[in-house]
Structure 1
Amino acid sequence: MKRGRKPTIDAAGITRAAIAVADAEGLAAVSMARVAQEMGNATMALYRHVKSKDELLALMWDSAMEEPPPLPDGDWRDKLGFWAKAVLAAIRRRPWFLQIPISGPPAGPKNLAWLDSALTALENVPLEPGEKIGVVMGLSTFVQGEARLIGTLAQGFEADPGRFNHQYGQRLREIVDPGAMPALAEIIEAGVFDLDDVVRAEDLGADFDFGLHLFLEGVAAHIKGRS
């Protein structure tokens, strides 16, 4: 009886296998050897298609984002707001995405599709091409920063829930000197941090929406000034 041939491998298949490892075990588990094991192939066979782990991470960075959803009807605010929330949702499905080091601007097909989608939201807005890129990159930075913050807080809460309840406000009152930090002391005394759960999902979502609102308001003011 003849032994069956190993399935043909290519860069796309290697990337899918690496993503499966990251989804199950985290990005730290991804190595050429671990991906080869996942695929049932020899490690050296992968190097014929993907030259290094850095190249593999770049392929994963692009493929992890999936395809952008169609933009809704509405004005540029509605479309950019939808786009921002879609990016956040895509990242939160694969939080390891933010752990991949970025060595250059987006060049893969998925990331370029997301960039095109955001620029499409601005296609009828009276801004110069460079300004449109600036708006999209600024919004992307905001979304990724919020996603990183949300993920980090969630991990911290899981490790030590006691640090995220109403006692946090009490500790701040003990630490913050109103004479040295009057603005922060005023916020603390207003009870902003006196919550039973500082990282409630609805609060984090509201914080994201407020930050997004402020960003879009700033873009709107810039557009008004330009016109």
Structure 2
Amino acid sequence: MDDAELEELPRGIALAWGVAASPQRGPKREMSVERIVDAAVELADAEGLAAVSMAAVAARLGYTPMSLYRYISAKDDLVLLMQEAAIGTPPPIEGESWRARVVAFHDALMAAYLSHAWVIELPITGVTATPNSAAWMDAGIAAFDGTALGDDARLSLMLLLTGYAHWSAGVTAGMTRRAVASGRGVDEVNHAEDDLLARLVTPDEYPSLHRAIAAGELSSGGDPFRFGLDRILDGITTHLDRIERGEVVAASLPEPASVDPAVAADKRVKTATKGVREAEKALRAAQKAERQARREAQERIERAKSA
């Protein structure tokens, strides 16, 4: 990225990437963007995101708000940098299989959210273009290394897993806040609420929910989110099996259907579409042959090692 492009970056993004110009005035020796962000994160951890303002952070540091504005010019930029600091960078995502790596990625991301639960309260307005966010996305995509999935499918699945971790962490954080406010443990609060729900839910009005409550499912004490994650992984496994059988192409995001039937009916378009379908079929056959060749090569290598 050249200097002109750097100048066009939003201030918060430029600060996150460390390419923003330093202020010309202000208490440089005592103040820094990092110190301001650390103080804001500490404030949010202690009192919640609503307590964070430029004035509150300045007071925590013993400076005037104007001193902060020389370093971070808007509260939105401060919140962006707080989020970046709170989620940190992903730990090594390890595992012998893609499934183990995906679980490790999900659990690490959920732990990062829960370590600073106010992050979950931030509205999702798109992909955050900051270094740590990019590192998490990269780790989520890399978890699928060694599979037949194309880059587009890996990106899509990374977003799915990130969303599930975000939602699961949000529910978990809400349960914890409720327990802290009541002065009781999470399990105790959950059991009390389950008992209340059991008294209110009748088999006539809510037959399926009543049956689940009667079976003790709401108070089982197990991880309520792991089952859903496992089913997501089962679906990915099924998709990979279909790729293995040559039923779908590895680069798997569907193309949008034509909005104009007349275009689809055009003779040249139909001929081109037929060519695409034949090419896809040939690609699936080639991918299957490649995987078979790799397996055979691996077997030969293993036999040679053990000979």
Q: TM-score scaled by structure 2? A: 0.63
Letter matched to residue 143 of structure 2 = A
Distance 1:190 1:61, change over 3 A: same
Give 2:178's match in structure 1, choosing from 132, 153, 156.
156
Letter matched to residue 188 of structure 1 = I
Distance in 2 of aligned mates of 1:29 and 1:170: 35
Distance 1:112 1:6, change over 3 A: closer
Bigger drift between 120-129 and 173-182 goes to: 173-182
Segments of structure 2 that go 5 or more residues without pairing to the other structure are: 1-26, 245-307
Q: Which residue of 2 aligns with 1:7?
A: 29
Distance in 1 of aligned mates of 2:63 and 2:193: 51
Q: Post-superposition shift, 1:9? A: 3.1
Distance in 2 of aligned mates of 1:158 and 1:8: 36
Give the SS at the match of 2:92: coil
- 1:19–1:60 Cα contact (<8 Å) kept: yes
Q: Post-superposition shift, 1:100? A: 2.1
Give 1:28's match in structure 2, choosing from 33, 46, 50.
50
Distance in 2 of aligned mates of 1:16 and 1:163: 33
Bigger drift between 107-116 and 71-80 goes to: 71-80
Distance in 1 of aligned mates of 2:176 and 2:164: 18
Q: Post-superposition shift, 1:135? A: 0.6
Q: Post-superposition shift, 1:82? A: 0.6
Note the alpha carbon deviations across 1:104-135, whole angstroms, 9 max, x for none: 31211111111111111112221222211111
Aligned: 1:70 with 2:120:
no
Give 1:17's match in structure 2, choosing from 39, 64, 67.
39
Note the alpha carbon deviations across 1:29-77, whole angstroms, 9 max, x for none: 2111111122332211221222211111111111111121112231111
Note the alpha carbon deviations across 1:142-165, whole angstroms, 9 max, x for none: 111111111111222333457532
Give the SS at the match of 1:64: helix
Q: Which residue of 1 aligns with 2:67?
A: 45
Letter matched to residue 174 of structure 1 = R
Q: Post-superposition shift, 1:86? A: 0.8
- 1:169–1:191 Cα contact (<8 Å) kept: no
Q: Post-superposition shift, 1:91? A: 1.5
Note the alpha carbon deviations across 1:166-193, whole angstroms, 9 max, x for none: x545433432232332222221222324
- 1:6–1:41 Cα contact (<8 Å) kept: no
Aligned: 1:147 with 2:173:
no
Bigger drift between 169-178 and 130-139 goes to: 169-178
Identical amino acids, percent of aligned pairs: 31
Aligned: 1:185 with 2:193:
no
Segments of structure 1 that go 5 or more residues without pairing to the other structure are: none
Aligned: 1:209 with 2:226:
yes
Q: Which residue of 2 aligns with 1:103?
A: 125
Distance in 2 of aligned mates of 1:159 and 1:46: 33
Letter matched to residue 211 of structure 1 = G
Distance in 2 of aligned mates of 1:188 and 1:16: 45
Note the alpha carbon deviations across 1:185-209, whole angstroms, 9 max, x for none: 221222324x4xx7xxxx36x2233
Give the SS at the match of 1:46: helix
Distance 1:192 1:208, change over 3 A: closer
Distance 1:133 1:175, change over 3 A: same
Give the SS at the match of 1:116: helix
Give the SS at the match of 2:224: helix
Distance in 1 of aligned mates of 2:189 and 2:30: 51
Aligned: 1:57 with 2:83:
no
Q: Which residue of 2 aligns with 1:219?
A: 236
Distance 1:67 1:183, change over 3 A: same
Letter matched to residue 53 of structure 1 = K
Q: TM-score scaled by structure 1? A: 0.84
Instruction: Provide the alpha-carbon RMSD of the alignment.
Output: 2.2
Distance 1:129 1:181, change over 3 A: same
Q: Which residue of 1 aligns with 2:142?
A: 120
Letter matched to residue 62 of structure 1 = E
Distance in 1 of aligned mates of 2:81 and 2:65: 17
Specify the structure having the higher radius of gyration (Cα): 2
